[in-house]
Amino acid sequence: MTEYTPISADISPKNAVVDDARSTILSAAFGPEPPSYETERRLLSWSKSIAPNTLRAILSDLRIVEAFQSARHQPTLPVSPLDLYSLIEQRAHEGYSKSSIDRLIASMVTLHATLELPSPADDNLRWKQREIRRRDSRPREQARGLRIKGDVEDIEKDAPLPLSLLSLLESIPDDPAGLRDRAMISAGYDAGLRRSELVRVRLEHIHRLPQGEASLFIPRSKTDQEGEGATAWLSSRTLQHIDAWVEKADIEDGYLFRPLSYRVSGTGHLAEGSVSSILKERLRSHLEGLADEGEFDRSQIGGIIKATSAHSLRIGVDQDMIAAGVDIGAIMHGLRWSSPKQPLSYARHLVPATSKLAAKMRGIT
């Protein structure tokens, strides 16, 4: 894909992600030929209106189409319904999931509509999409939830299991990296933070409450792209971990979770991708230590680490709330969900046991 050179300096975007997206998309659609001024303005307005991660996903899908079309000596855009049909059929045969294929189609439909190109989706394509969905019976993969006490029967009374948030926090050493990681993991669980929210927590966003807890202001999130802001709860446990890290790192304001070396990140906070890496390594070290003492099955560690990601903290607190019988409306509000579908999906194995039906039947049986 050749790089597109901006034709008008007065509308050049400020954001590097937007700039890259605009150049890539215009090159894919028009090659070396400049588009109309209105088309460029339209693309710029659209690319600045959506979340950066959404834009990155669309660019990723565009590169898939580019590779497919290039192998067939066809231009990347516009892609015809027949070509897109052939592409999704090929990817289905190669074992790609129905969700990735759905996203690919949605990305192409969005790009074509934005550039005012003919739609790449017709009835035949949609029928093929439905066929792929029906054939692909694999359950949707999701990260493993890291629950506060593990998979206990009674979340209030039972002691923490070896594979739990509390046991993990206790195992982390008190060196500078450990103090930071313990505070970050604990805060991520309490507030159900997405990784983009977690790395951007600032010290001035934490407002202490009389009972030793705190509220955390979240300026922007995945479901709040307009920046209205939201608040979340932090426990006294998390505040103690944060205080220990702040004192050690001598932080007075600004981002709370910072790299230990200036070479790691130029943004002032940890990179989003580092959250998963840190959590995986801390959990691996904890479980291997338990395995060395004969308290954990070593053969399970690899699978557990593979299924763990930054989202495990958000999934874990969601599952614990469901297990504790918290109303789904309160969970949606507290964890900033826009729909009940996802939080219920994450805890689908727990929902039946917490239902009113189960409570009633326990008294009968």
Q: Are 223 and 343 in contact (CB under 8 A)?
A: no
Q: Where are the domains of the chain?
A: 9-135, 165-364
Q: Is the pLDDT of residue 90 over 80?
A: yes
Distance from C-alpha of 5 to C-alpha of 16, rounded to nearest angstrom: 14
Tell me which DSSP letter residue 10 carries: G
The predicted pLDDT at position 338 comes to 85
The predicted pLDDT at position 10 comes to 40
Over range 131-156, report the average pLDDT.
Answer: 89
The predicted pLDDT at position 73 comes to 94
pLDDT grade, residue 344 (50/70/90)? Answer: confident
**Model confidence over 303-314: pLDDT tens digits?**
999 999 999 999
Tell me which DSSP letter residue 8 carries: -
Q: What percent of the chain has pLDDT over 90?
A: 72
The residue written with tokens 């999130």 in the block is 221
Element (H, E) at 317: helix 311-323
Better-predicted residue by pLDDT, 158 or 349 = 158
CA 9 to chain centre: 34
Where b means 16+ CB within 10 Å and e means fewer, 300-329 reads ebeebbeebbbbbbbbbbbbbbbbeeeeee
Better-predicted residue by pLDDT, 15 or 10 = 15
The predicted pLDDT at position 11 comes to 41
Q: Is the pLDDT of residue 262 over 90?
A: no
pTM tops 0.85: no
pLDDT grade, residue 357 (50/70/90)? Answer: low
Q: Are 187 and 232 in contact (CB under 8 A)?
A: no
The predicted pLDDT at position 365 comes to 59
Q: Which two tokens stand for residue 2?
A: 């050749």
User: Of the spans 40-49, 138-147, 189-198, which averages the highest pLDDT?
Assistant: 189-198
Element (H, E) at 134: helix 123-135
CA 107 to chain centre: 18
Better-predicted residue by pLDDT, 307 or 229 = 307
Please list, in sequence order, all residues whose beta carbon lies within 8 angstroms of the beta carbon of residue 92, skipping any fewer than 6 positions away. Answer: 98, 101, 132, 135, 136
The predicted pLDDT at position 92 comes to 95
The predicted pLDDT at position 310 comes to 96
Distance from C-alpha of 312 to C-alpha of 315, rounded to nearest angstrom: 5
Instruction: Look at residue 215 and give its three-state secondary structure.
Output: strand
Better-predicted residue by pLDDT, 48 or 130 = 130
pLDDT grade, residue 261 (50/70/90)? Answer: confident
**Model confidence over 95-110: pLDDT tens digits?**
999 999 999 999 999 9
Q: What percent of the chain has pLDDT over 70?
A: 88
Q: Determine if the peptide bond prior to 259 is cis (ω within 30°).
A: no
Residue 271: phi and psi, rounded to 5, are: -70, 150
CATH H superfamily, domain 165-364: Intergrase catalytic core (1.10.443.10)
Over range 338-357, report the average pLDDT.
Answer: 76
165-364 shares the fold of 9-135? no
The predicted pLDDT at position 13 comes to 36
The predicted pLDDT at position 19 comes to 83
pLDDT grade, residue 45 (50/70/90)? Answer: very high
Q: Is the pLDDT of residue 364 over 70?
A: no
Q: Are 88 and 105 in contact (CB under 8 A)?
A: yes
CATH H superfamily, domain 9-135: Tyrosine recombinase, N-terminal domain (1.10.150.130)
Q: Are 175 and 282 in contact (CB under 8 A)?
A: no
Mean pLDDT for the chain?
89
**Model confidence over 160-212: pLDDT tens digits?**
999 999 999 999 999 999 999 999 999 999 999 999 999 999 999 999 999 99
Over range 231-260, report the average pLDDT.
Answer: 96
